[in-house]
Amino acid sequence: MPRIYLDHNATTPVEPAVLDAMLPYFSADFGNAASIHTPGQRARSGVETAREQVAALLGARPQEIVFTSGGTESDNHAIFGIVRNAPGATKHVITTQIEHEAVLNACQFLEKDSGGAIEVTYLPVDKNGLIDPESVRDAIRPQTALITVMHANNELGVIQPLEKIGKIAAQNDIFFHTDAVQSAGKILVDVNSLGVDLLAISGHKFYAPKGVGALYIRGGTRLRQLLYGGHHQRGFRPGTENVPGIVGLGKAAELSRISLNEDAVRVSALRDELQRELLARIPQSRANAAAAPRTPNTANITFPGIEGEALIIALDLKGLACSTGAACSSGAIEPSHVLTAIGLSAEDARASIRFSLGRHTAQQEIAAALEIVPSAVAQLRQLSPAYQK
């Protein structure tokens, strides 16, 4: 059997239809989208079509979409842009303890770089990885410039109650940003229903190429530029557009919007089967945040008595790819900040594996994984002095 890939939260393959849409913009339609001649305008047409496709996926207007290099740039632009543009000598940001590093590290830099003039509140989550919207309300200060809460967590798949948080932000006239990198293309994302002012996505999480993403900026939202250069994209994001990547992002958004419900039903059934059978076949195993609403493709399971990194290597040797958590943190010595935030010990956090399925994951792949994983866990437990039956 070919290799089994269950690490779609890290990255996805480019869909053949997406690649086909991109190819002309490497050759025949290679023009600079900022040029006014015919080759440039052919490229511009591809970019603007993609803008409409991405806007449709998010329930936004095309003019509210700014193309970027990916989720990290989009998150950074939103956070730095809003906070640095906010009035007052002192400013305050509200976020959570389980955000992606693109948000956490940006917030920590603001604290350090401001010399204390910018403070950040990192709200805790419950054992299922959910934030209490009322804790957001309680954390608001007169100086609060931004609330940033991710839509779906990259390690657990937990979906946060953004609609309620969005109403709280609006009631207090505070800008609201969300990292939707792990939700866009998997579940319905509507910027108006969520009540967000800024939203970040990354193409390679839903079958577009790496190196392209987008930032939704609600009309009328003012934020300071992150980059300085030309006047591309209404001055929000200078630099020559990555036309093939943007076209690919647009096509992937279109495909995801069409197949969203069908994909969710099929993939969630496979995910549930994988989780249920692994818990039944592997003693003492536990699913993390299983009681919370989750993206349909994600399961995070603790296998006590093993080291997650060792299990990843063992599974890879057997032809199965999965992850210990965020790909950006692979190889890190510290346990996952997400798993410790929901109450896992450092030992259990290091013994946890994330399985993330994709649009093309097949039933036979799940059946094979259900043979491979229990066998690998049993072998590692036999070698582990820490495991007690």
Residue 35 one-letter amino acid: S
Is residue 268 a part of any domain in this protein? yes
Check the CA dihedral 131-133-135-140 and report its sign: positive
Is residue 84 a part of any domain in this protein? yes
Encoded tokens for 315: 């599974």
**DSSP for 109-152, written as a single string:** HHHHHTTTSEEEEEE---TTSPPPHHHHHHH--TTEEEEE--SB
Please identify, among 233, 255, 277, the residue that sits at the C-terminal boundary of a domain.
255
Is residue 27 a part of any domain in this protein? yes
CATH number assigned to the domain comprising residue 278: 3.90.1150.10
If asked whether residues 202 and 66 sit together in one domain, one would say yes
If asked whether residues 247 and 304 sit together in one domain, one would say no
Encoded tokens for 332: 């890190």
If asked whether residues 335 and 360 sit together in one domain, one would say yes
Is residue 80 a part of any domain in this protein? yes
Encoded tokens for 135: 């804790």
If asked whether residues 248 and 269 sit together in one domain, one would say no
Please identify, among 255, 276, 309, the residue that sits at the C-terminal boundary of a domain.
255
If asked whether residues 281 and 374 sit together in one domain, one would say yes
Domains held by the chain: number: 2
If asked whether residues 89 and 174 sit together in one domain, one would say yes
If asked whether residues 264 and 224 sit together in one domain, one would say no
If asked whether residues 238 and 266 sit together in one domain, one would say no
Please identify, among 205, 221, 255, the residue that sits at the C-terminal boundary of a domain.
255
Are 288 and 302 contacting, i.e. CB atoms less than 8 angstroms apart?
A: yes
If asked whether residues 28 and 174 sit together in one domain, one would say yes
Distance CA 166, CA 76 (A): 20
Residues of the domain holding 83: 16-255
Is residue 388 a part of any domain in this protein? no
| Known catalytic membership, residue 322 | no
DSSP type of residue 12: -
Residue 323 one-letter amino acid: S
If asked whether residues 356 and 309 sit together in one domain, one would say yes
CATH number assigned to the domain comprising residue 161: 3.40.640.10
If asked whether residues 205 and 309 sit together in one domain, one would say no
Distance CA 309, CA 320 (A): 14
Encoded tokens for 27: 């050759």
**Per-residue pLDDT in tens (0 to 9) along the chain, 389 residues:** 689 999 999 999 999 999 999 999 999 999 999 899 999 999 999 999 999 999 999 999 999 999 999 999 999 999 999 999 999 999 999 999 999 999 999 999 999 999 999 999 999 999 999 999 999 999 999 999 999 999 999 999 999 999 999 999 999 999 999 999 999 999 999 999 999 999 999 999 999 999 999 999 999 999 998 888 887 887 789 899 999 999 999 999 999 999 999 999 999 999 999 999 999 999 999 999 999 999 999 999 999 999 999 999 999 999 999 999 655 544 556 899 999 999 999 999 999 999 999 999 999 999 999 999 999 999 999 987 766 66
Are 254 and 119 contacting, i.e. CB atoms less than 8 angstroms apart?
A: no
Is residue 187 a part of any domain in this protein? yes
Which among 170, 328, 362, 386 is annotated as catalytic?
328
Encoded tokens for 362: 């097949």
204-205-206 Cα angle (round to 5): 90
Is residue 218 a part of any domain in this protein? yes
DSSP type of residue 294: B
Is residue 389 a part of any domain in this protein? no
Kindly list the distances between the CA atom of residue 46 and the CA atoms of 16, 213, 364, in Å, as whole numbers in the listed order.
18, 15, 38
| 262 contact partners, CB below 8 Å, separation of at least 6 | none
If asked whether residues 223 and 371 sit together in one domain, one would say no
Tell me the sheet residues that pair with 197: none
